[in-house]
Amino acid sequence: MAKYDVYKTPLKIDKLTLDNRFVVAPMSMGCFYGEDGGFNEQATQYFAARAKGGFGLIITGAIGVDYQVDPYSATGPIPLQVGQVWIDDAKKFVDEIHASGAKVFAQLTLGLGRNYPGLPAPSECIVYGTTDQKSPALTKEQIKLKISQYIDTAKMVKEAGFDGIEVHAMHWGYLLDQFGMSFFNHRTDEYGGCLENRLRCAKEIVEGVHEVCGSDYPVGMRLGLQTYIKDVNKATLTGKEEVGRTLEEGIEIAKLLEKYGYDFLDVDTGTYDSFYYAEPPMYMPQGFMIDIAAKAKAVVKIPVIAGGRMQAYDAAAKAIEEGKIDGVALGRQSLANPEFPNKLYQDTPEKIRPCLGCNLGCWNRVVGGQGGWGSCAVNPQCARESIDGLKPGDGKKKIVIIGGGVAGMETARTATLRGYDVTLFEKSDHLGGHLIEAGAHSFKSEVQKLNEWYQRELKELNVCVKLGQEPCAECVKAEHPDAIVLAIGSIPSQPDIPGLDKAILSLDAIQNPQQLGEKIVIVGGGLVGCELALDEALKGKDVTVVEALDHILSSGIPAPTPNAQMLGDLFEAKNVTVLTGHKLVQVTEQGVVLENTDGTVELEADSVVSAIGFAPRESLKNVFSECGAPVYEIGDAVKAATIMNAVWEGYALANQL
């Protein structure tokens, strides 16, 4: 058997057989419904791309069932309200997924509960993200009505041709999850109290669905095996202070769900209160879910599919071989590279574009309110396949790109794929730009892999890359360009502060950490400074982060909640000192002088690191404006921002040249 052939072995869910072990995890992207309330072409092409990429099972994002109890739905149109139009559109959607090679399940949600303001919960409880807002408690009649609507929607789902249903969800702290946890469920009727009572909704749902759809119609549960919460809005990094669901209770729930008639379990961890377990960032090890999922698999006979940083393909393949899990659910990695399974089937894992765990294109846009529908930081075509796919080139064109960072490499890649002749100049002896420093941390190997992926792509596309050359106007003009792209990046900001020249620049500190002493003060609480602080603290260093604003990670684009939450808890666990509201006044031979509302503070340090931010390099637009071609500036050359910003700008520009 070849290395990854285990992924190609069929998986049986009751009487249904999947072609392989890869599942597209359910994700709501906020863009999958048309004006008529049915699935649109955007949804069809998004899921079809992943079916063609080798996934054996597609699970839709959460579809609402209730329009009579909840005051609104954050999940899109309600099938029961839309009616036959929803069924007709869903049939076309399902047919396309089947034609693309995959089975497809609809994920139906009982509701979102106290995760959002104004929505009812099992009991009156504090709304996530607040300290004083409370969710209203559901009446018994409302619970019955919700379950009745769930079963009626299931009938529509089967009529539309879906191959099965996943129940949303005893995970992420949604309504059904709240019923399952005594921390949120304080009811004294048959829907509260002992574990079996708290699972009564889940039991009545599967029984009702099987009654109307048939006992052999697959029904699974999205189950968070442990919640990792120690209070409302507060996670526990280790799980030792758990007040929600312990792993032991999660295992007991798995056994009960099998007893109730569920045909598979799709397992993960976390809630909104512990978002870094629900949507684990790059600080969480890949494959951490394998051993957790294996504990559930050890007590049930139904298939167990594991999700959550499961792109660790070697470890996951071994886990399937050893019977620890039955399948792999990929969410964000399927956004980054829809052909993840095919790359493994072809034994070319190096061609997989990696998910960074950055949560910028997915979580930040869908849940974090940063605009637009869900997508992916490193894959601008994600969820835009039908509206912003790669366009054919406009004749033969010569494109000259100056700068070999991520923006320049994405521009070169996309322009070449469109059929253009591309030459890329990079003044250093390597490609990557700030990906080099960003990928140097112990917990950011995915960024390093992204840089390697880009370089491999450019090589395979035969892009002309000229390293060690800082081009002048004459040599660019000699290329006879039709367009010139300046992707020259950014440099560290150095404000006029006495003694700041004594500090080590953040990029130098990241690439040459051996020069840092045991007691480190990092000036600047943005992402660069905080990640450097974490890396050094993990080595046992005494680290202090100084930030002039009231909060770290608050300038520019806010850090996604899962990332910021985990960084904060890791800082606490590793004893990183954070001084907000402190302005740097001077760097001295002994350390730093700071100023806050109470006066000045002096801190001693072996090393002071300046991580105050970045600014665009001096524009070269005037230098190349006489070369006979339009000149474009992109990425950090315009405004220092994120990897996502650089990739998306590079793609957008190259796709319109």
Catalytic residues: 174
The number of angstroms, rounded, from the C-alpha of 234 to the middle of its chain's C-alpha atoms is 20
The tokens for 300 are 């049930």
CA pair distance 559, 576, nearest whole angstrom:
18
CA dihedral of residues 508, 512, 514, 515 (deg, nearest 10): -30
Q: List Cα–Cα distances, 111 to 124, 158, 306, 426, 618, in angstroms.
A: 15, 20, 23, 52, 52
CA pair distance 352, 640, nearest whole angstrom:
27
Bridge partner list, 107: 62, 166
**In 3D, which of 385, 271, 371 has the Cα closest to residue 30?**
371
Sheet holding 577-580, edge to edge: 504-505, 607-610, 519-523, 542-547, 577-580
| Phi, psi (rounded to 5 degrees) for 600 | -110, 155
The H or E element spanning position 213 is helix 200-213
CA pair distance 326, 321, nearest whole angstrom:
9
Residues near 223 by beta carbon (within 8 Å), at least 6 away in sequence? 169, 170, 171, 250, 253, 254, 257, 265, 266, 267, 268, 296
Residues near 215 by beta carbon (within 8 Å), at least 6 away in sequence? 261
Maximum Cα interatomic distance, the chain, rounded to a whole number of Å? 82
The tokens for 548 are 């002039």
CA pair distance 171, 157, nearest whole angstrom:
22
Question: Can you give the length of the chain in residues?
Answer: 657
CA pair distance 605, 608, nearest whole angstrom:
6
| Phi, psi (rounded to 5 degrees) for 152 | -65, -40
**In 3D, which of 604, 597, 573, 562 has the Cα closest to residue 583?**
597
Q: List Cα–Cα distances, 592 to 505, 540, 600, 604, 610, in angstroms.
A: 15, 21, 10, 7, 11
CB 296 within 8 A of CB 254: yes
